[in-house]
Amino acid sequence: MDTLPFLKGFELTDIVAWRGKQSVDCRRFLGDVARLAERMPDRAHVFNLCDNRYRFLVGFAAALVRGQVNLLPPSQAPQLLQNIARRYSDVYALVDNDNRPADIDVLRYPENSKPELTSPPVPCFSSAQVAAVTFTSGSTGEPKANVKTWVSLVTGADMARTRFLSALPSRAAIVGTVPPQHMYGLETTILLPMQAGLAVHDGRPFYPEDVRIALEQVPAPRILITTPLHIRACVTERTALPEVEFMVSATAPLSHDLAQQAEDMFSTRVLEIYGCTEAGSIASRRTIEGEWWRTYDGMSLYHQNNRCFVQGPQLSEAVELGDLIQLRNACEFSLHGRTTDLINIAGKRASLNDLNHKLNEIEGVRDGVFFMPDEIPGKVTRLMAFVVAPTLTVQEILGELRQYIDSAFLPRPLYRVDSLPRTETGKLPRAQLRHLAARLETSGDKAESA
């Protein structure tokens, strides 16, 4: 039976992780994995809910050593965890904080374990072993489960290594603002460094100053794995980041202007990854170079019955993509919004993604989103928008929108809000937007229409 190692490119004295400014070498990491595996209960599934990235990494590997499947939920909302737990037998949760999920057995990550003088060998796992079940974010509905075998995860990491790391001058350190439970975070801050001999920072910085501190705690060359939300915050705050080899962004479209600002301000390159939970990362581009994406080597796209599919060596079968995609050829394409975000008003069609892009390009808009509520029989369904823009009035925002979008798609109403209910990766689950709309409509908060 084919087996694949958890680590590649590491000697026992090489650094696997940075816990703040303190390094963790390969020998210590392997010992931590073995000790945690011994403590784990005999179960089939584990919610790996560790917030600290190093603890998540150790937990992920220890679960594989025990033959357990890592369940990686899109959030730690209690009701969501309970819903998932009902679908999987013998589940428990590995945690490293006091937020313990109700009605689910918990194992607290052990701290202050003493390193051993000897270390276990690098664990290897069957290619066919189910390593994880990842869940979609729920931005368009209920989270859906996606089974990931060990070979599929390793193959994806190898393709990313070929795309992003071939020109690096030396071993890099990765800092990530995205949670490792998210498919993007799992691939780029856990699997990629472990399969490419890189070190990963254990934190998950959120605010610009946190990002600066985390980057300063690791040596160059540095790679920042992040999202448009965090890039915009760092640009807006004009944060003085240390030298970064390149930034990688995903989870939401990144505008050309924001990418250009980030490249100029931080003297770096801004790259984007395109992918989905179902297929993982499949393509990349440098945002300022244009709209065309290029698939990872060995992957290709094709259209069939007005739907677009991706196929590749890490996929057991072709996966349908949820975006409107224009193919230049099998390996180059451009994006034109989600297949689920097309709306039709007065016989005219538009993409919510395109409307959101135009809204967020308005100077003074810090964040914003259009939202089309669910249709209710006997009630007129109106397109609305929520906008974070402290220095602008509603009429000023609407005046700017009129310059760029058809009047049929002006939001009715438009609400100014203090913040949007974004997830840790910057996504806006539809359920959260639905709840926000209901709260604003019933609370009497003032809104203005076009």
What's the chain's average pLDDT?
90
364: left (phi over 0), alpha (psi -120 to 50) or beta: left
pLDDT above 80: residue 170: no
pLDDT above 70: residue 146: yes
pLDDT above 80: residue 272: yes
Residue 426 is predicted with a pLDDT of 78
| Residue from 84, 92, 101 nearest 68 by CA | 92
CB–CB of 402/429 below 8 Å?
no
424: left (phi over 0), alpha (psi -120 to 50) or beta: alpha
Residue with the larger pLDDT of the pair 214 and 373: 214
pLDDT above 50: residue 64: yes
Pairing of strands 319-320, 269-276: unpaired
Region 331-343 average pLDDT: 80
Using pLDDT thresholds of 50, 70 and 90, give the confidence band for residue 449.
Answer: very low
Residue with the larger pLDDT of the pair 419 and 406: 419
| Residue from 147, 40, 46 nearest 91 by CA | 46
CB–CB of 398/450 below 8 Å?
yes
CB–CB of 130/46 below 8 Å?
no
Residue with the larger pLDDT of the pair 405 and 328: 328
Region 333-357 average pLDDT: 77
Residue with the larger pLDDT of the pair 158 and 89: 158
Q: Could you tell me the two tokens for 103?
A: 């009605």
CA–CA gap between residue 184 and residue 172 (Å, rounded): 19
pLDDT above 60: residue 446: no
| Residue from 48, 38, 294, 54 nearest 164 by CA | 294
Using pLDDT thresholds of 50, 70 and 90, give the confidence band for residue 115.
Answer: low
CB–CB of 283/258 below 8 Å?
no
Please, what are the domains in the chain?
3-336 (3.40.50.12780), 342-443 (3.30.300.30)
Comparing 197-211, 364-378, 395-409, the range with the smallest average pLDDT is 364-378
Percent with pLDDT over 90 in the chain = 67
CA–CA gap between residue 114 and residue 112 (Å, rounded): 6
Residue 450 is predicted with a pLDDT of 44
CA–CA gap between residue 179 and residue 185 (Å, rounded): 6
Q: What is the pTM of this model?
A: 0.83
pLDDT above 70: residue 140: no
CA–CA gap between residue 419 and residue 40 (Å, rounded): 40
Comparing 14-18, 56-60, 162-166, 341-345, the range with the smallest average pLDDT is 341-345
Residue with the larger pLDDT of the pair 398 and 340: 398
Q: Give the single-character DSSP code of 129.
A: -
pLDDT above 70: residue 276: yes
Using pLDDT thresholds of 50, 70 and 90, give the confidence band for residue 303.
Answer: very high
Per-range mean pLDDT, top range of 286-295, 332-341, 346-355, 394-403 = 286-295
Residue 351 is predicted with a pLDDT of 78
Q: How far is CA 250 from the centre of its chain?
A: 6
Comparing 127-131, 207-211, 358-362, the range with the smallest average pLDDT is 358-362
Residue 54 is predicted with a pLDDT of 98
Region 130-144 average pLDDT: 78
In 93-207, where does DSSP find H-type helix? 150-164, 183-186, 192-196
Residue 444 is predicted with a pLDDT of 56
Comparing 60-74, 237-251, 400-414, the range with the smallest average pLDDT is 400-414
Comparing 54-58, 158-162, 229-233, 425-429, the range with the smallest average pLDDT is 425-429
Region 283-287 average pLDDT: 97
| Residue from 108, 47, 37, 100 nearest 72 by CA | 47
CA–CA gap between residue 306 and residue 319 (Å, rounded): 14
| Residue from 166, 202, 196 nearest 22 by CA | 202
pLDDT above 80: residue 71: yes
345: part of which helix (H) or strand (E)? strand 342-345
Region 18-35 average pLDDT: 95
Using pLDDT thresholds of 50, 70 and 90, give the confidence band for residue 157.
Answer: very high
CB pairs under 8 A, 24+ apart, for 205-208?
Answer: 205/175, 205/177, 206/177, 206/230, 207/233, 208/233, 208/234, 208/237, 208/239
Torsions phi, psi for 76 (to 5 deg): -105, 25
